[in-house]
Structure 1
Amino acid sequence: MLRGELLVLHAGSLSAPLERFCAEFEALHPGLRVRRVAGGSAALARDIASGRAVADLFLSADIEVIEQVLVPEHAERAVPFAGNEMVLCHTDAGRHADRIGPDNWFRVLPESGVAWGHSDPDQDPCGYRALMVLQLAEIFHDEPGLAARLLASRRPENVLPRASDLVARLLDGSLDYAWEYRSVAVQRGLRFVALDPRVNLGDPRLNEVYAQAVVRTAGARSGETIERRGAACVYALALCRRAPNPAAARAFILHLRPGFAGL
């Protein structure tokens, strides 16, 4: 029988499905408590690697975060379990929400008075994926300099630590648009602009196309940087090498996939 505590560090975009899944898992194992800590995947991985955080399991929004920061010293391998895609979220109250769409969003965002944002690329994969989407849109729409023009229109204060922070800003009206994952938009009931598959980082068959986008972010150690090339959004998990409760972690992994069927 599993007992004690299972500590799971995870991407913020997994909060809603994990809440349901962990409740089901605890019901199957009454002697076990699952404690969850959500955050930006890149920041959480650095916390594990530095020893600032001890966890049994780490669930990342980007498989490469695990492979680049944690394998092999802090985790044996990354196990993929789900996919996602990038969308541009908004509410009915967003400026020009009545006319924005997949063919003109990149013209609406830089318009006067429009407030839009994304999460911090150094902390959250959704942040560097947002920058990749801008680069891919420049190529797809044949608009040289588009990514730079868009970034010039984004106010610095609209780059927030986590994508979940952006959702709160959308809902209180201080942002008109925010880059998020499609799963989160659906879970939160947000309107969103769906992008062409060659731009949205949602199709693994298009990884050669996505690889044209390149973003540099903070590395595992102070002063280091990592070059990240565009690739389809693939979520992955890792069993941490110093897991305090490895038996519970393995049981969680074995039970995981059916719980995320609707992600």
Structure 2
Amino acid sequence: MRARRFRTTLAALTVLAVLCLPGCGSGGETASPPPAGDGARITGDVTVFAAASLAESFTRLGRDFEAAHPGVRVSFSFAGSSALANQINQGAPADVFAAAAPANMKTVTDAGNGDGTPATFARNQLVIAVPEGNPGGLTGLADLTRPGVKVALCAEQVPCGAAARRVLTAAGVRVTPVTLERDVKAALSKLRLGEVDAALVYRTDVRAAGGDVDGVEFPESAGAAYEYPIVLLSDAPNVRAGRAFVDLVLSAAGLAVLTAAGFQAP
């Protein structure tokens, strides 16, 4: 009788433990991604092409995704959105594309390489990045034209370059940069290396750079805020996992990671 009672109690405890697995003892900082729409298990690798300015936040989301789907590996290719769009249209294998501007996304969808309508998941604005403490005393766009001030801009083909052109045109300021960089990280790197005195980069990149870089806000940036769209690619090697990653980015957990990095809600 005692052995039978022990086996019954053990079975009940086992059932309770299984039922508790998804939610008991949570309280960690990692938010769980939403489940796959069809409830099937996510397997395999996921390849995400994403704008350079998304590097820190998407890397965090990739870790969260892998934690929620054991055995799955998320690989990222971070670069300028225009370069990534060209790679996708030339047949580079990827599951998801996240761009820093609708124009670069349109390049991909117009070529028939997007699966469905892209969804906007975040917005971003430019700031003037300067060395810590702003030793040059820069306060606005007009200061970028001062004699001796070396400025780095992104090339106009990439979103940070197009945004810089828009704000400078709106402000009636003509800046002659000493360098045009392939993406926002490269422009910021020139500043951190001391090769320039200022760079027009995204607010999120200044935050990610830490204490050695400060950001000078300017009013014209509000008129050039860029929307970030994301889409599952039509030739995605891993459709199920790619769609689940897109769902994570669009979820409340994804927005929390993005806004913590300095992005604005869409």
Please indicate the TM-score interval, normalised by the length of the shorter structure: 0.7 to 0.9
Asked if 1:176 is matched to 2:197, the reply is: yes
Match of 1:13 in 2: 53
Partners in 1 of 2:44 and 2:203 — Cα distance? 35
Asked if 1:134 is matched to 2:168, the reply is: yes
Asked if 1:255 is matched to 2:245, the reply is: no
Partners in 1 of 2:83 and 2:107 — Cα distance? 13
Q: Which has the higher helix share?
A: 2
Q: 1:62: how far off?
A: 0.7
Q: Return the match for 2:76 from 21, 26, 36.
A: 36
Q: Report the structure number with the largest CA radius of gyration.
A: 2
Question: What secondary structure does 1:260 align onto?
Answer: helix
TM superposition score normalised by structure 1: 0.76
Matched to 1:133, the amino acid is V
Match of 1:125 in 2: 159
Partners in 2 of 1:92 and 1:27 — Cα distance? 36
Match of 2:207 in 1: 186
Matched to 1:259, the amino acid is G
Consecutive unaligned residues in structure 2, runs of 5 or more: 1-40
Q: 1:92: how far off?
A: 3.0
- 1:96-123 CA distances to partner (integer Å, 9 max, x unpaired)? 1xx2213xx31x222222111111122x
Q: 1:42: how far off?
A: 1.1
Matched to 1:137, the amino acid is A
Match of 2:95 in 1: 56
Match of 1:226 in 2: none
Instruction: Decide whether aligned partners of structure 1 residues 236 and 131 sit closer, same or farther in structure 2, where only a CA change above 3 A counts.
Output: same
- 1:194-237 CA distances to partner (integer Å, 9 max, x unpaired)? 111xx21x4xxxxxxx5xxxxxxxxxxxxxxxxxxxx5310010
Match of 1:246 in 2: 239
Match of 1:166 in 2: 187
TM superposition score normalised by structure 2: 0.75
Structure 1 segments of 4+ aligned residues over 4 angstroms from their partners: none
Q: 1:128: how far off?
A: 1.2
Q: Percent identity?
A: 29
Partners in 1 of 2:103 and 2:119 — Cα distance? 11
Partners in 2 of 1:101 and 1:179 — Cα distance? 13
Partners in 2 of 1:160 and 1:254 — Cα distance? 32
The answer on whether the counterparts of 1:7 and 1:56 sit within 8 Å (CA) in structure 2 is yes
Count of aligned pairs between the two proteins: 213
Partners in 1 of 2:44 and 2:72 — Cα distance? 5
Q: Return the match for 1:236 from 197, 205, 229.
A: 229
